Amino acid sequence: VTTRVEHCMGTVFTVSIRDDGDWSLAIADVVGWLHTVDATFSTYRPDSDICRIHRGELTVEDAHPMVTDVLDRCARVQHDTGGFFSSLIDGQVDPTGLVKGWAIERASAMLSRAGARNHAVNGGGDMQLAGEAEPGRAWAVGTTDPRDRSRVLSVIEVRDGAVATSGVTERGRHIVDPFTGRPVANGLASATVTGARLTEVDAYATAAFVMGLPALGWAEPRGGVEVLLVDEEGARHSSSGWTTNEIECQLQ
Amino acid sequence: MKRAILAAASTVASLVLLLSFKTHGPSAVATPPAAVSNGTNSGGNDTSSATTTKNKAKAKKSTTTSRAASTYTGSAADTRYGPVRVRVTVANGKVTNAEAVVYPTSAALDQQINSYAIPQLNSEATSASSANIDMISGATFTSQGYIASLQSALDQAGL
């Protein structure tokens, strides 16, 4: 097992490679990539392309080509979620809700190309998983209890997939309902989504948190997308496939 | 307050290690023990990183001497206030002790830790000790929040 922990984008990334070998070069490439994405998209860095666009110093067309790529993906997810995900914040373009998942999915693809078939890239609790944790054993992903982060509420098995959670963080309520412009207040404490690719799954988790309980009905006809919602009372609400993927263990 | 941090860090680590510890079966292929590389470097100016590589020879050793207690010291997880490092004692395939051997002592960290109300070990988590958990999903934590996170303890264990 080769593990790398990297601080970037205001959170912490864990890269875990389960194949034998010396992965130092591949990991260095991934770390460089994550910092490049941060330098381009950060809303906290005055010299980032996004901040320059906000100040009117740069057009999307003249920005780094990946800005257009990410905004296109934002538009698609906005459509998929009926507008519950949006990259327009206060009238300004802000793809923050999608960019980390996109960066992680690309990082995972980089590791696959380098020959690491079994690996995880987890950025602050949102992850793309490739292969298995051990030969014959899928990745076991625990989701934290939003009311007590030391506790695990549910453990699911994932092979070649993505998991993302949105919700109330240690910083409080920061997810804004794009329809009201106000922080989400629908009784949910967290929303976790699983699916194939983290670009969409991460943005879907944000959208599901904004939707509230109707997210279950939204997810049900979408093949391969499963949802676990936890409300402020600690009650769980999940799509049918979530339960199928859940590992039986004595978790409360 | 220093003691409180130590106790809290140990509690987080032991909780997660109970959740995460896996026994490693004897390896069929002997891996050269000198193959460990800690040389990963991003080449950039970010110093907030840590890389660990655990080879199979070490895992094998721990199982073949299962009667005796083995200790593992995790890699340092850097926080903005300094590194945190956890040492774990394993006996008969179970974590019997976990303690922070390196931890920050600044007053600012005291406040930070207290504001996150470091999780306490609880019986529900202990009952989940049979589960092999590899990764943790939760609402995105900040760089500072990572120190008290379950993912941090998994990473430090390097298991």
Q: What is the enclosing helix (H) or strand (E) of B52?
A: strand B49-53
Query: First vs last Cα of chain B: how many Å apart?
Result: 30
User: Can you give the length of chain A in residues?
Assistant: 252
Q: Of B143, B76, B94, B150, nearest to B119 (Cα)?
A: B150
Predicted pLDDT of residue A172: 67
CB nearest A152 (choices: B49, B133, B159): B133
CB B98 within 8 A of CB B89: yes
* Residues B37, A24: C-beta atoms closer than 8 Å: yes
The rounded mean pLDDT for chain B is 47
Binning pLDDT at 50, 70 and 90, where does residue B94 land? very low
Distance of CA A206 to the CA centre of its chain: 9
Q: Which range, A135-139, B5-9, B110-114, is most confident?
A: A135-139
Contact B146 A151 (CB under 8 A): no
Query: Tens of pLDDT along chain A (252 residues)?
Result: 899 999 999 899 999 999 999 999 999 999 999 999 999 999 999 999 999 999 999 999 999 999 999 999 999 999 999 999 999 877 888 899 999 999 999 999 999 999 999 999 999 999 999 999 999 999 989 888 888 777 788 889 999 999 999 998 766 677 889 999 889 999 999 999 999 999 999 999 999 999 999 999 999 999 899 999 999 998 999 998 888 778 754 343
pLDDT digits (tens, 9 = 90+) for B63-76: 333 345 656 565 55
Q: Is B119 helix (H, G, I), strand (E, B) or coil?
A: coil
Predicted pLDDT at A89: 76
3-state secondary structure A89-137: ECCEECCHHHHHHHHHHHHHHHHHHCCCCCEEEEECCEEEEECCCECCE
Give pLDDT, residue A171. 64
Q: What is the pLDDT of residue B83?
A: 60
Catalogue the E-assigned strands of chain A: 2-8, 11-17, 88-89, 92-93, 119-123, 126-130, 139-145, 148-158, 161-167, 188-195, 226-231, 236-238
Residues of A within 8 A of B155 (CB-CB) are 3, 5, 14
Instruction: Kindly determine whether residue B149 and residue A129, on different chains, have CB atoms separated by under 8 Å.
Output: no
Closest by Cα among B72, B74, B114 to B90? B72
Q: What ipTM did this prediction achieve?
A: 0.89
Sort A10 into a burial class: Cβ within 10 Å, 0-12 / 13-18 / 19+. middle
CB contact under 8 A, B50 and A5: yes
Q: Which residue has the higher pLDDT, A119 or B110?
A: A119
What is the mean predicted confidence (pLDDT) over B125-151? 66
Q: Which residues of B touch A152 (CB under 8 A)?
A: 19, 125, 128, 131, 133, 136, 150
Report CB contact under 8 Å: A35, B42: yes
Q: What is the DSSP string of A58-73?
A: S-TTTS-HHHHHHHHH
Q: What is the pLDDT of residues B27-85, one digit of tens each?
A: 233 333 332 233 333 333 333 344 544 443 333 333 333 345 656 565 555 554 556 56
A81 in helix, strand or coil? coil
List of chain A residues whose C-beta atoms are within 8 Å of the C-beta of residue B131: 140, 142, 152, 155, 247, 249, 251
Interface of B with A in 107-146 (CB under 8 A): 116, 119-122, 124-125, 127-128, 130-143, 145-146
Average pLDDT over residues B127-150: 69
Per-residue burial over B5-43, b if 16 or more Cβ lie within 10 Å, else e, is beebbbbbbbbbbbbbbbebeeeeeeeeeeebeeebebe
Q: How confident is the model at residue B8 (pLDDT cuts 50, 70, 90)?
A: very low
Name the pairing type of β-strands A139-145 and B135-137: parallel
Chain-chain contact of A149 with B138 (C-beta, under 8 angstroms) = yes
A150 with B128: Cβ contact below 8 A: no
Specify the 3-state DSSP secondary structure of A157. Answer: strand
Whether the Cβ atoms of residue A8 and residue A33 lie closer than 8 Å to each other? no
Between chain A and chain B, the number of residue pairs with CB atoms below 8 A apart is: 201
C-alpha neighbours within 13 Å on the C-beta side of residue A97: 31
Contact A142, A171 (CB under 8 A): no
Chain B residues in contact with A4 (beta carbon < 8 A): 40, 49-51
| Residue in chain B nearest A206 by alpha carbon | B139
Does the distance separating the beta carbons of A20 and B31 come in below 8 Å? yes
A35 neighbourhood in chain B, CB within 8 Å? 42, 44, 46
Interface test with A, best of B135, B142, B149, B150 (most A CBs within 10 A): B135
CB–CB of A198/A122 below 8 Å? no
Task: Indicate the burial class of A123 (C-beta count within 10 angstroms; 0-12, 13-18, 19 or more).
Answer: buried
CA angle A217, A220, A223 (to 5 degrees): 150
Cβ within 8 Å, pair B119-A149: yes
* Distance between A85 CA and the closest CA of chain B, angstroms: 16
Is the confidence at residue B9, as pLDDT, over 60? no
